[in-house]
């Protein structure tokens, strides 16, 4: 029997749905049979086990963002449990049952986990608590409100009688589900708001955590794949003898898999194998051609209107600019991998995925096995960042596994991981503004050109007017008070319809960059301090104004800086949260831009675990700076040129500035933080670079653009002549 019995008999179970649109809890005392009830389709379960532990089964995936602990904290808070009394479980893959709110499938991404589960998890917890109290009260024949609960024990205050939740399992089962359940007042929170250690921390520190790549089912072998970095190229098969060390070579239509006892041997054989490729329908484009094509599309192709304010009249803009964003790799530290055992009529998959539901669907599609015969063992993820919502790699592993009769672990080498990434797409955005006499925008025109991810990934999320809501997120919902706004989007397709994908924030990361840099340009044009300029435009966005002032104050915004140093600010709303970052840079060296300091203010509603939120912001900022400074996939002859960390550069320890994150106290609904830092990092940095150097960088990444700028401004010919002379003097090895 493959599928684990989900609901053990003998437990009091509250099933509830994280999927409901109106975020009302459908809490119900349920048995497994009820779970199929049409009117009520729960996707999360609270079980009070006979041993007194409470098990929370939720469909989210932990990938370092700390949601398991946060969700346990929410439940413990409302159920009056100790945090140590809650066990959180990965739900098995089952999209029907574990569909995620805000995602429409069983998937973790887009900073939606806490956003989607806060209300329902609270009311489910409170419901369970109330039912347990009702059960105790009726057993004692007292009024429920004369009882109180603490750490899973219900006490009748007057008599001092008490019962554990575990003793009430059967009674509670028979209680009717209350219609109205009061939630705890925020001021009475004892668990929420405290920096709890995450449940996964200990194992991660001890090296005991099992990631997908660590799965070693008995009898498994390892596969290294040879995939041409040019998409759609097909290997030409030759009948060569099996090289020593290889167990088998499996050919698929787009790759070869060398299978050996260990991954290194497989890779070594793969390295020496020369494979001929059929490039039939591949376009051998390069980066310059890609940029040209985007430019062409931006100027000529039809644009869809994402927002059109009636008052917008198309006045001549006073300022306009073009911003360009490259394709970006995910480069999660754990390379893509999946282990698959394909047996006669069943399939077992070991993987770390953000989207167990998609994996299950894909496996079903490829094998034709009924979903009950497919088991997805989800593991911890060595970084997700939107890469592990995709199923391309596991699909390949399944296709390989279908051809062999043992479990096979397919690991992508780092080079394959980068070259066959589904990258964050490139964008080319044109923005302009007409200004009033004081230099503030009265008309704002924004035109985005770029690929749509939703079209492929989840077409049901496309807007009715045909606009991809993500592509324009952060552009059509500007927080600034600008009288008339016009936003358009021109869809663009990568050559050969190469797939592009999610990243740590897609829409907001490029839209916030452009909007915040362009506002800086306008402030500069108006001769107004960029912080004060923003403050004036944010008069009607109190939460943004608050983070803006907080960050500026904590960063000591008006303190003068030395020559060659600079300070930049950016503010924005993304994933329902509000954030402002102030970045300081040292640009005194000609060869590098050093970040020296960052102050960040965040309002993400109720703070569930300050420690994990700050960690997410710190990590997000670093992720964003990495991309802003160096991130770029370039193409030559249709293939990605980068292959590993020596040429796809990530920020390192000695490049990270001091970071201070200030959280705003708030009673608002909690909101996303995973991608928030990433979105705000790059504009704050670029604005600081401008402040330090006077160079306005409109094409990311910054470092090559700055180098180009320096070169073209360094006396050109004279420098070349100097080089010529110096190269003569150092040739020939003469004394």
Partner 1 sequence: MKSFTKITASLCVVAAVVPIAVVAKNMLSRDPEISAPDIAPSSELIARGEYLTRLADCQACHQVKGGEPFTGGRAFQLPFGTLYSTNITPDPETGIGTWSDDDFVRALHRGVRPNGENLYPAFPYTSYTAISRDDAVAIKSYLFTLKPVQAPAKKNELLFPFNQRWGLALWNGFFLTDRRFKPDPALSSKVNRGDYVANALGHCGECHTPRTLAFNLSDRIYAGASLEGWNAYNITSHKEYGIGAWSDEELKRYLLEGHAPGRGTATGPMGEVVEYSLRHLKADDASALLSYLRTIPPRPEGFVANVKESSMMTAASGSLPVATDVIEPGQRVFERNCASCHGWNGGGVQQKTAALKGLRTIYDPSAANLLQVILHGTESSALPGRSTPMPPFASLSDGEIADLVNFMRRYVGSGGKKIGAGDVADAREYQH
Partner 2 sequence: MRSTFTLNINDERRTVTAPPRMPMLWVLRDLLALTGTKYGCGIAQCGACTVHLDGKALRSCVLPVGDVGDGHITTIEAVGRTDNGEKVQRAWMEIEVAQCGYCQPGQIMAAVALLNERPAPADFEIDAAMSGNLCRCGTYPRIREAIKLAATGKTDAMRTLVIGPSADSEVKEP
Residues at the contact surface with partner 1, assessed by CB under 8 A: 589-592, 642, 644, 646-647, 649, 652, 654-655, 703-704, 707, 710-711, 719-720, 722-724, 726-728, 730-735
Contacts for 714-718: CB closer than 8 Å, 24+ residues apart: none
| CB 419 to partner 1: min, Å | 15
Asked if 222 touches partner 2 (CB under 8 A), the answer is yes
Q: Among 15-23, 199-207, 540-548, 726-734, which window interacts with partner 2 (CB under 8 A)?
A: 199-207
Closest CA to 479 of 555, 576, 552: 576
Contact 485, 478 (CB under 8 A): yes
Please list, in sequence order, all residues whose beta carbon lies within 8 angstroms of the beta carbon of residue 447, skipping any fewer than 6 positions away.
298, 303, 429, 430, 431, 487, 488, 489, 490
DSSP 591: S
Closest CA to 115 of 125, 99, 102, 97: 102
DSSP 39: T
Asked if 201 touches partner 2 (CB under 8 A), the answer is yes
What part of residues 239-298 is at the interface with partner 2 (CB under 8 A)? 244, 261-265, 267
719 binds, among partner 2, ligand FES, partner 1, none (CB under 5 to 8 A by kind): partner 1
Tokens of 329: 């790799």
| CB 185 to partner 2: min, Å | 16
* CB closer to partner 2 out of 272 and 305: 272
| CB 119 to partner 2: min, Å | 24
Which helix (H) or strand (E) covers residue 450, if one does? Answer: strand 441-450
DSSP 560: -
Question: Residues in the chain, how many?
Answer: 735
| CB 398 to ligand FES: min, Å | 26
* CB closer to partner 2 out of 83 and 304: 83
DSSP-derived 3-state class of residue 558: coil
Contact 159, 149 (CB under 8 A): no
What part of residues 348-377 is at the interface with ligand FES (CB under 6 A)? none
Judged by CB under 6 A, the number of residues near ligand FES is 3
Asked if 213 touches partner 2 (CB under 8 A), the answer is yes
What part of residues 50-69 is at the interface with partner 2 (CB under 8 A)? 63-66, 69
Asked if 545 touches partner 2 (CB under 8 A), the answer is no
What part of residues 133-172 is at the interface with partner 2 (CB under 8 A)? 151
Asked if 384 touches ligand FES (CB under 6 A), the answer is no
Query: Any idea which residue has 């110096």 for tokens?
Result: 726
Tokens of 570: 């950016």
Asked if 383 touches ligand FES (CB under 6 A), the answer is yes
Contact 450, 344 (CB under 8 A): no
> Which of 612, 642, 671, 691 lies at the binding interface for partner 2 (CB under 8 A)?
612
What part of residues 397-426 is at the interface with partner 2 (CB under 8 A)? 411, 413-414
Asked if 331 touches partner 2 (CB under 8 A), the answer is yes
| CB 582 to partner 1: min, Å | 23
| CB 64 to partner 2: min, Å | 3
722 binds, among partner 1, ligand FES, partner 2, none (CB under 5 to 8 A by kind): partner 1
Q: What is the DSSP string of 472-538?
A: TTTTTT--S--SEEEEEEEE---GGG------S-SHHHHHHHHHHHHHHHHHHHHT--HHHHHHHHT
Q: Give the per-residue SS3 of 121-166.
A: HHHHHHHHHHHHHHHHHHHHCCCHHHEEEECCEEEECCCCCEEEHH
> Which of 6, 435, 532, 650 lies at the binding interface for partner 2 (CB under 8 A)?
650
| CB 591 to partner 1: min, Å | 3
Closest CA to 596 of 567, 575, 559: 567
735 binds, among partner 1, partner 2, ligand FES, none (CB under 5 to 8 A by kind): partner 1
* CB closer to partner 2 out of 339 and 449: 339
Asked if 333 touches ligand FES (CB under 6 A), the answer is yes
| CB 196 to partner 2: min, Å | 5
Q: How many CA atoms lie within 13 A of 46 on its CB side?
A: 37
CB atoms within 10 A of CB 211: 18
503 binds, among partner 1, partner 2, ligand FES, none (CB under 5 to 8 A by kind): none
Q: Which residues bind ligand FES (CB under 6 A)?
A: 64, 333, 383
């Amino acid at each position: 029997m493959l599928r684990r019995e989900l609901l053990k008999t003998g437990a009091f179970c509250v099933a509830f749905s994280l999927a409901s649109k109106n975020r009302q809890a459908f809490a119900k005392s349920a048995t497994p049979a009820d779970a199929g009830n049409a009117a009520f389709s729960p996707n999360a379960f609270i079980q009070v086990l006979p041993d007194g532990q409470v098990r929370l089964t939720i469909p989210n995936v932990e990938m370092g963002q700390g949601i398991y602990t946060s969700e346990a904290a929410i439940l413990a808070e409302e159920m009056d449990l100790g945090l140590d009394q809650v066990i959180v479980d990965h739900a098995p893959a089952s999209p029907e049952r574990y569909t995620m709110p805000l995602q429409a499938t069983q998937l973790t991404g887009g900073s939606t986990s806490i956003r989607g589960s806060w209300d329902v998890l609270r009311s489910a917890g409170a419901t369970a608590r109330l039912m347990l109290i009702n059960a105790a009260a009726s057993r004692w024949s007292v009024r429920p409100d004369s009882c109180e609960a603490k750490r899973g024990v219900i006490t009748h205050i007057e008599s001092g009688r008490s019962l554990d939740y575990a003793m009430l399992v059967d009674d509670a089962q028979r209680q009717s589900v209350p219609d109205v359940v009061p939630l705890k007042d925020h001021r009475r929170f004892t668990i929420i708001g405290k920096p709890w250690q995450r449940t996964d921390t200990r194992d991660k520190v001890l090296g005991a955590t099992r990631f997908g790549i660590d799965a070693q089912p008995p009898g498994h072998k390892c596969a290294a794949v040879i995939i041409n970095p040019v998409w759609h190229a097909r290997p030409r098969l030759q009948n060569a003898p099996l090289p020593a060390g290889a167990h088998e070579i499996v050919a698929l239509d787009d790759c070869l898999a060398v299978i050996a006892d260990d991954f290194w041997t497989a890779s070594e054989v793969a390295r020496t194998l020369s494979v001929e490729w059929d490039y039939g329908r591949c376009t051998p484009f390069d980066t310059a051609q890609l940029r040209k094509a985007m430019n062409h599309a931006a100027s000529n192709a039809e644009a869809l209107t994402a927002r059109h304010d009636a008052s917008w009249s198309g006045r001549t803009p006073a300022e306009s600019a073009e911003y360009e964003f490259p394709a970006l790799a995910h480069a999660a530290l754990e390379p893509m991998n999946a282990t698959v055992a394909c047996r006669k009529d069943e399939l077992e998959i070991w993987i770390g995925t953000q989207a167990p539901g998609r994996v299950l669907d894909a496996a079903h599609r490829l094998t034709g096995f009924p979903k009950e015969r497919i088991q997805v063992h989800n593991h911890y993820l060595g970084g997700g960042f939107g890469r592990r919502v995709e199923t391309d790699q596991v699909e390949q592993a399944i296709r390989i596994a279908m051809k062999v009769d043992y479990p096979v672990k397919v690991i992508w080498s780092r080079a394959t991981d980068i070259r066959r990434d589904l990258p964050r797409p490139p964008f080319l955005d044109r923005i302009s503004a007409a200004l009033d006499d004081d230099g503030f925008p009265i008309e704002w025109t924004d035109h985005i050109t770029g690929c749509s991810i939703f079209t492929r990934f989840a077409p049901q999320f496309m807007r009715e007017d045909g606009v991809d809501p993500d592509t324009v997120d952060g552009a059509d919902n500007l927080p600034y008070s600008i009288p008339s706004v016009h936003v358009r989007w021109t869809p663009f397709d990568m050559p050969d319809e190469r797939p592009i994908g999610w990243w740590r924030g897609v829409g907001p990361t490029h839209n916030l960059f452009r909007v915040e840099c362009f506002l800086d340009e306008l402030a500069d044009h108006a001769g107004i301090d960029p912080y004060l300029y923003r403050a004036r435009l944010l008069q009607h966005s109190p939460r943004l104004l608050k983070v803006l002032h907080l960050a500026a104050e904590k960063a000591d915004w008006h303190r003068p800086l030395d020559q060659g140093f600079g300070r930049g600010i950016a503010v924005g709303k993304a994933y329902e949260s509000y954030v402002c970052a102030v970045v300081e840079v040292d640009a005194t060296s000609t060869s590098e831009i050093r970040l020296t300091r960052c102050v960040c203010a965040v309002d993400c509603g109720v703070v569930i675990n300050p420690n994990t939120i700050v960690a997410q912001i710190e990590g997000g900022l670093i992720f964003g700076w990495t991309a802003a400074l160096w991130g770029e996939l370039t193409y030559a002859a249709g293939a990605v040129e980068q292959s590993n960390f020596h040429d796809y550069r990530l920020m390192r320890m000695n490049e990270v500035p001091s970071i201070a994150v200030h959280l705003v106290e708030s009673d608002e609904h909690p909101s996303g933080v995973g991608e928030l830092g990433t979105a705000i990092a790059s504009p704050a940095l670029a604005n600081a670079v401008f402040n330090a150097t006077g160079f306005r960088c409109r094409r990311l990444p910054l470092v090559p653009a700055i180098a180009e700028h320096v070169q073209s401004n360094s006396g050109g010919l004279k420098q070349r002549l100097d080089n010529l002379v110096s190269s003569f003097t150092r040739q020939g090895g003469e004394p």
